Amino acid sequence: MAPFRRFALGLVPVFRETLDALASLVFPAPCRICEATLTTASRIPVCSTCLTSLKPLTGVACQKCGRPFVSAVAAAAPQPLCHLCRRDIYNFDLARSFAAYTDAMVRAIVLLKYHEVTPLGAWFAARLAELVARDPEALAADVVVPVPLHVSRLRERGYNQAELIARPLAKRLGLPLRSYLLVRTRPRPEKLKLTRQERWRTVRGAYAMRSEAKIDKLRVLLVDDVFTTGATLDACARALRKAGAGRVVALTVARVAPEWQPYASPGVAEPAED
Ligand SMILES: [Zn+2]
Ligand SMILES: [Zn+2]
């Protein structure tokens, strides 16, 4: 490549970043979650109050799937497992999430999923990296794999929101990103809301490994935006395991708490599953 062209290519992102920062100073945009005026120049279009309201999950939770416990009795058990993990239904070894699926989080996920707010993906990746740093042994991995979208959905949206989190996370952890390992072979049905049973049924066998992919004994960090029923992560983990993965740890930004009511606040619409 010609030296000048290389120089120009290197310059563009820096230049664009400077423009973004200048633009936010000249035209203060409202926070995309609470609509308060943003007073500081940041690449994330969310105010600091909203960002700090997205707090890490700290309560007692199921040792395996990370499901927050509502009952103190379950939490006090010597091996705290939820009713699903006691039946050993999940194919992943462990699942952890950064924060609860609160109204602010629902809006943040919408920004990531439908508005491609890439800097928010990077911010979430930093939170997930902190989660990994707190439990490095249990969450150790060799590769990072985002939950894939069906090709029709990917074409329609133009990007995969799970990859907006997985890519900066892989970079932070110094691990290779392997987006091409998994494919979604069956699209989600058109129906907008799915029941719990339907969620499980539609994703069962909907993911597969690319035929040429080799993952013998690899430890996989599987990344998605929201853990709702765990059906998607389970289906992906099943495909990875079948292909010989040594361990599958699922990481998501948000976790639907058992008592969470969708549409709890007016104007907050739950993002549809992919
Ligand atoms: Zn705000
Ligand atoms: Zn569990």
Question: In the prediction, which pLDDT does 260 show?
Answer: 53
Q: How far is residue 248's CA from residue 236's CA, in Å, rounded to a whole number?
A: 9
Domain range annotation of the chain: 52-255
Q: How far is the CA of 75 from the centre of ligand 1 (A)?
A: 34
CA of 87 to the centre of ligand 2 (A): 9
Asked if 69 contacts 62 with a C-beta cutoff of 8 angstroms, the reply is yes
Ligand 1 centroid from CA 29, angstroms: 11
CATH of 52-255, one of 3.40.50.720, 3.40.1190.10, 3.65.10.10, 3.40.50.2020: 3.40.50.2020
Rounded Cα gap, residues 241 and 255, in angstroms: 23
| Residue 78 alpha carbon to ligand 2 centre in Å | 14
pLDDT confidence of residue 31? 94
The ligand placed nearest to the CA atom of residue 103 is 1
Q: Which ligand is nearest to the CA of 255?
A: 2
Helix (H) or strand (E) holding 144: strand 143-146
Q: Which ranges of the chain have pLDDT less than 70?
A: 1-14, 16-17, 19-28, 73-75, 258-269
Nearest ligand (C-alpha, residue 229): 2
Ligand nearest to the CA of 96: 2
Compute, in angstroms, the gap from residue 187 CA to the centroid of ligand 2.
Answer: 27
Supply the pTM of this predicted model.
0.86
> Which stretches of 94-209 are DSSP H helices?
103-114, 118-134, 151-157, 161-173, 196-203
For residue 85, the ligand closest to its alpha carbon is 2
Q: Tell me the CA–centroid distance for residue 181 and ligand 2, in Å.
A: 26
148 phi, psi to nearest 5 deg: -80, 160
Q: How far is the CA of 84 from the centre of ligand 2 (A)?
A: 6
Distance from residue 36's CA to the centre of ligand 1 (Å) = 6
The number of C-alpha atoms within 13 Å of 67 and in the hemisphere containing its C-beta is: 21
How remote is the CA of residue 94 from the centroid of ligand 2, in Å?
Answer: 9
What's the CA gap between 201 and 206, in Å, rounded? 9
Closest ligand to C-alpha of residue 87 is 2
